[in-house]
Amino acid sequence: MTEETGANPPKAPTVTPTRVVIALCLIAPFVAMLWVDSYAKVDPTFIGIPFFYWYQMLWVLLSTSLTMIAYKLWQRDQRARKGGASA
């Protein structure tokens, strides 16, 4: 007679919508910066700065924001997993 309580609780799925969003937040800056042909031009200028430079500087800010969002989502995901495992 084996008892099922405490034996291998069901695991949460590894790939969740939250984790997909996290991955997209982290991958987007790499794709944007590696696709050089999309921003290798001078026009349009912004306050006299060629597009090539201000586009990259814009991605510094965007990358920071996206990384922060990914981190917060990861924290929330981990808290949910720990809460679900103990219940």
* Domain total of the chain: 1
Does residue 87 register a pLDDT over 60? no
pLDDT in tens, 61-82: 999 999 999 999 999 988 888 8
Confidence of residue 47 (pLDDT cuts 50, 70, 90): very high
**DSSP string of the chain, one letter each residue:** ----TTSSPPPPPSS-HHHHHHHHHHHHHHHHHH-GGGT-S-PSPBTTB-HHHHHHHHHHHHHHHHHHHHHHHHHHHHHHHHHHHH-
Tell me the pTM: 0.74
Assess if residue 9 is contained within a domain.
no
Using CA atoms, how far apart are residues 47 and 43, in angstroms rounded to an integer? 11
Assess if residue 49 is contained within a domain.
yes
- The domain of 55 spans 17-86
